[in-house]
Amino acid sequence: MDNNNVTNNNNNTNNMLKTITIKVDQDNDIYEMTVNNVTYTLDNVYESQYSQLFDELNMSIEVM
């Protein structure tokens, strides 16, 4: 295996990693989600690419 291939694989893995932080209110509903230092709230999450993630995380919290 050449070094270029190893470097490309590492870069692809790093590009896929995301840091996600959620804030949950007293009713166990997400009111804020931060993805890679960009914060989304109910006011703007549904216009973003993370709307489905937001909904799915919210539903999974309700099940717990």
Residues of the chain with pLDDT under 70: 1-14, 64
* HEC string for 7-56: HHHHHHHHHHCCCEEEEECCCCCEEEEEECCEEEECCCHHHCCCHHHHHH
Q: How far apart are CA 19 and CA 38, in angstroms?
A: 10
What's the residue count for the chain?
64
Q: In sequence order, what are the residues at sequence separation of 6 or more whose Cβ sits closer than 8 angstroms to the Cβ of residue 58?
A: 29, 30
pLDDT for position 4: 53
Phi and psi dihedrals of 3, rounded to 5? -65, -30
